[in-house]
Chains A and B, each alone.
Chain A
Amino acid sequence: MPNDSPFRRLPEAGRRAVTIAFEDRTLPALEGDSVAAAILAAGIATTRHTPVSGAPRGPFCMMGVCFDCLMEIDGEPNRQACMVEVREGMRVRPMMGARGLSEGSADD
């Protein structure tokens, strides 16, 4: 898959390869990656659109402080993608605006 990520992976042994689903794409990752790191390494810059103006945002601090990497992970909205480690088959979607009122629905 073409990848214009501003991050390149160093050669690495010892970490198992996994895949995660990002919307309708399958992304490669390594066990121990945070979701945010895996997404950035796969060339995806935007993790959410803000509820206030709809502006795009991406991971900023990678240490759980800024909350700009909020994503829907395995159906749960507003998770900090930099604080969650990838698991095989994990389903990840960007947060578009505020979470919905019913559990798991982030689109309305």
Chain B
Amino acid sequence: MTKNVPLIVIGAGPAGLGAAAEAAGAGVETLLLDEQPGPGGQIYRAIARSDAARRALLGPDYARGAALLPALESGAVDYRPGANIWQITPEREVYFTRDGKAQVLQAARIVLATGAMERPMPFPGWTLPGVMTAGAAQIMLKSAGTVPQGEVVLAGSGPLLLLLASQVLDAGGRVAALVDTTPRGSLMAALPHLPGMLRAPSTLKKGLALLARLRRAGVPHYKGAGDLRARGTEKIEALRFTAGGREYDLPCALLLLHLGVVPNLQITRALGLAHDWDPLPRCWRPRLDSWGNTEHEGIAVAGDGGGIVGAEASEHQGRLAGLQAACQLGKLNPADRDAKAAGIRRALAAQRAARPFLDRLYRPAEAFLDPPDNTLVCRCEEVTAGQIRDFVRLGCLGPNQTKAFGRAGMGPCQGRFCGLTVSEVIARARGAGMEEVGHYRIRPPIKPVTLAELAAMDPDDTGPEGGFDRDDAA
């Protein structure tokens, strides 16, 4: 018999930690599975073993993640890190590998809190070693204590790019250049959404403070940059681009890219759930009700995995999903659930009001949505934008057919880093809308699982108990 668990939360970022804390607080036996070695997700990465100096460097928006740890420390939540989830069925069976052994559990309720990933930023040369995402550099700063040094160039658009530049400076590093690809006119286009932004004034203030910080430090800021090309043979050597009618060729040992983040949809896609195209932030999101419930009974989504909302709003959504799960499991009556939810919903609404302004201001430049012919779009199978356009000319209508035409999306990342681009390129080449073009069908296993791991699977055994060790580093 497969072991039954009342509630499984997938992902230990702000949404998952919020959901687990609320549900466990209401008396629900809660299992929290996460693929990372420690809690916090990417935004609060390594928060449990960060010392005071690290938290001071990363700032209050990082340090606040520590407030989410008590539910794990007290043992109220059965937390199991290092769990690689490779399949979830609509019947709520959760298959995962942990400690070299495949396991399966049956959940009455599931909250998916799988967070965000960097939006692909394809241009010629973006696959060279030494080109990484800005998020990757932040993850290294948080988890390995490393700061970019030397000829470091940051390119793209969005608040994280400014935040990372500022953190590099604060840590005593140097930023050789900020190559800002935000299209000219974006601020004007975003202005109609300003009233919503003003409902979350701290977000606006933080952004302006970051810009001022970079100006004071004298970081060269190239605005309206386009036509990016990374140059190098074994690794990146220079970044070429145009800005203000001039051509630049900046020596570069590390190029950090950022074009905003998009929901990580691998699980909701593999579950066959309905997804809607969100034209302002240009990404898909699963169809959810106000508690985060999906169309599959007992499966909810919270946080950035349901549409980008940011860390604070993700925690709020997690708490709502946790309250709802507790109510559905008979641990909380609807009146108490609604009373607890009211304050959370108000805070969530204020956070969400800021999104349209940010989404419009930082909409990716067209060249990254519909890149030049010679750009590798599918990093794994090395398929270019030009090849995708050729497939369309040969009659390819959507991303699933590109797999048959040229293997795009069939490599180890399973379309995670090319899915959005392939659909955008096809949509433009066909003159069709994104809803019509659609997205890759994602099939399990969504993470590699070996035969040895499967052979070690015993449905009666739920593996070693989880646990939470907090390093006493502070």
Instruction: Tell me whether A19 is interfacial, beta carbon within 8 Å.
Output: no
B144–A30 touching, CB < 8 Å? yes
Q: A32-B49, A57-B127, A58-B235 are in contact. Are A12 and B379 (CB under 8 A)?
A: no
Name the contact of A14 in the complex, choosing from B46, B51, B132, B135 (C-beta under 8 A). Answer: B51
Check A18 for interface membership: any CB of B closer than 8 A.
Answer: no
Residues of A within 8 A of B (CB-CB), count: 42
Asked, given contacts A14-B473, A32-B143, A67-B411, whether A62 binds B132 with beta carbons under 8 Å apart, the answer is: yes
With a cutoff of 8 Å between Cβ atoms, the chain B residues found around residue A5 in the complex are 149
Do the beta carbons of A6 and B140 come within 8 Å of each other?
A: no
One digit per residue, 1 when the CB lies within 8 angstroms of any chain B CB and 0 when it does not, for chain A 38-71 equals 1011000111001011011111111111111010
- B136-A32 in contact (CB<8A): no
Interface positions of B from 122 to 140, Cβ below 8 Å from A: 127-133, 135-136, 139-140
Known: A6-B149, A6-B150, A67-B411. A61 touches B130 (CB 8 A): no
Contact of B146 among A7, A66, A70 (CB under 8 A): A7
B147: chain A residues at CB < 8 Å are 7-10
Report B262 CB to chain A, min CB distance, Å: 11
Does B22 sit at the interface, judged by CB under 8 A? no
Which B residues touch A62, using CB under 8 A? Answer: 132-133, 135-136, 139-140
- Decide yes or no: A56 and B140 within 8 Å by CB, A14-B473, A41-B146 being known contacts: no
State whether the Cβ of A37 lies closer than 8 Å to any Cβ in chain B.
yes
Interface-side segment among B205-213, B297-305, B412-420: B412-420
Q: Which residues does chain B contribute within 8 Å of A7, judged by CB atoms?
A: 140, 146-149, 254
Whole-angstrom CA separation of A21 from B290 in the bound complex: 51
Which of chain B's residues have a CB closer than 8 A to the CB of A60? 127, 131-133, 136, 379
* Alpha-carbon distance A83/B467, docked complex (angstroms): 19
B residues within 8 A CB of A56? 128-129, 234-235
Classify chain B's interface size.
35 or more
Chain B: minimal CB distance from A75 (Å)? 12
Q: Within 8 Å CB of B313, what residues of A?
A: none
B381 touches A52 (CB 8 A): yes
With beta carbons under 8 angstroms apart, the residue of B118, B234, B380 that contacts A61 is B118
Query: Please, which residues of chain A bring their CB within 8 A of the CB of B235?
Result: 45-46, 56, 58
Known interface pairs A60-B136, A67-B380. Does A78 touch B448 (Cβ–Cβ under 8 Å)?
Answer: yes
Knowing A10-B145, A46-B234 are in contact, say whether A66-B140 is a contact too (CB < 8 A).
no
Determine the distance from Cα of A5 to Cα of B49 in the docked complex, in whole angstroms: 25
Inter-subunit contact A58/B130 (CB<8 Å):
yes
Q: Which residues of B contact A66 (CB under 8 A)?
A: 379, 413, 416-417
Interface hub of A9, A13, A78 (most chain B Cβ within 10 A): A9
In addition to A14-B51, A40-B146, 20 A-B residue pairs with Cβ atoms within 8 Å of each other are A6-B253, A30-B145, A32-B37, A32-B46, A37-B143, A37-B146, A41-B146, A46-B129, A50-B382, A58-B129, A58-B130, A58-B131, A59-B132, A60-B131, A62-B133, A62-B136, A62-B140, A65-B416, A66-B416, A67-B413
| 12 A–B contacts from the bound complex (CB under 8 Å) | A4-B150, A6-B148, A10-B147, A45-B130, A46-B234, A56-B235, A57-B129, A61-B133, A62-B135, A65-B416, A83-B36, A83-B84
A residues at B contact (CB < 8 Å): 4-10, 12-14, 30, 32-34, 37-38, 40-41, 45-47, 50, 52-53, 55-68, 70, 78, 83, 85
B residues bordering A, Cβ < 8 Å?
35-37, 42, 46, 49, 51, 54, 57, 84, 117-118, 127-133, 135-136, 139-140, 143-152, 171, 173, 234-235, 253-254, 264, 379-382, 411-413, 416-417, 448, 471, 473
